[in-house]
Structure 1
Amino acid sequence: MRNLEKWFEPVVIVGMLGAIILLVFADVIARFAFSTSIAVANELARFCFVYMIYFGVSYAIRERRHMRVTVVLDQLPEAARRWVFALAEFIFLIYSVTVCWLGVVVTQQAFERGKILSSTEWPLGVLYAAIIFSGALSSARLVHSLWRVIAHGDTHLGPQLDV
């Protein structure tokens, strides 16, 4: 389980990036060598890009590499820094839960309306589901981060060295 927790997002992100490279390369070869285009390749590359970006959000949270302004936080004494950091993580958690919930609403509406992607003919909801996965995974990562801050006082900004 620890390996899954550690490697899940990186494997998805690298896999999606590799797929994008292969799909775009194949489409370029098809255009120049055969004067045609692979319509599915463009759509799948877009699909992979969306999932790669959304999984990157939760990975950045896990590694504590998402953007934040720390000018005020750096000036606070250690005890106050802990609680301000916890408050910031809690607000981010509320945002992530909201994003996940709205992702469910948007995805459900897309499935109900029967919208499909043009080349693959997949339901558009499959693309929107990336919002749900990202919101849920980000929320789980933020709960873990909050636990680390509250239980252990860990306000270190930067990559986790040990999970």
Structure 2
Amino acid sequence: MHIFTNRIRQFIESVLMLSLLAMVLLTFADVIGRLFFNIPIYGAHDLTEHLMAVIVFSGLPLLTSARGHLAVDLFDRFIMTGAMRWWRYLTNGLICVILLLVSYQFFIAAMDAIEIQEVSQALLIPRSYMYALISFSCFVSACASVLPKQVSQDVHPEETL
């Protein structure tokens, strides 16, 4: 199972890197085209918008599985004790429920986008695919939020939940 999750993580990381590279190259070419040739790349805004969604929502499951979300450590001395383990489980459960709710809402949005054939402004890219990606990403993140923390090489085992 560990090998399977590592392969999935590596695949998602590759998708993230390629998406970021594509967005940087597209933005660079668009700026150069505007500045020197007064010819912007048609649809660059649409492509950048979709690539940004891919980057953010593909990274969400990785961030959730590593417990990398923003956290305030003001009460960690109290909360990280064994007696407060129930609080950490409750928090992870709440995160799971919220992510499932977001996933459900974007699933509905994807179905609506298919029904009304919603597309992007310039390139007419169907929006339903992005909504489905967001829904799937939030669902996977919800599952990852209730699993044990993924231990990486730079994290000590005593720091895991």
Q: Which whole-Å deviations, capped at 9, do the CAs of 1:63-100 have from their partners, x for residues lacking one?
A: 21101223334314632232211110011001111111
CA distance in 1, matches of 2:129, 2:112: 12
Task: Give the helix-richer structure, 1 or 2.
Answer: 1
Of 2, 5, 9, 1:6 maps to 9
2:28 maps to which residue? 25
Residue 157 of structure 1: how far off its partner (Å): 6.0
Q: Which moved more, 1:121-130 or 1:70-79?
A: 70-79
TM-score by length of 2: 0.81
Number of residue pairs the alignment of both structures matches: 153
User: Which residues of structure 1 form unaligned runs of 5+?
Assistant: 149-153, 159-163
Percent of aligned pairs with the same amino acid: 24
Does structure 2 retain, via aligned residues, the 8 Å contact 1:100–1:136?
yes
> After TM superposition, what 4+ stretches of structure 1 lie above 4 angstroms from structure 2?
none
CA distance in 2, matches of 1:155, 1:103: 37
Of 35, 38, 47, 2:38 maps to 35
1:16 maps to which residue? 19
Of 56, 68, 71, 1:53 maps to 56
TM-score by length of 1: 0.81
SS at match of 1:39: coil
| Residue 93 of structure 1 pairs with residue 96 of structure 2 | yes
Q: Which whole-Å deviations, capped at 9, do the CAs of 1:115-152 have from their partners, x for residues lacking one?
A: 21122212121222232122122012113238x9xxxx
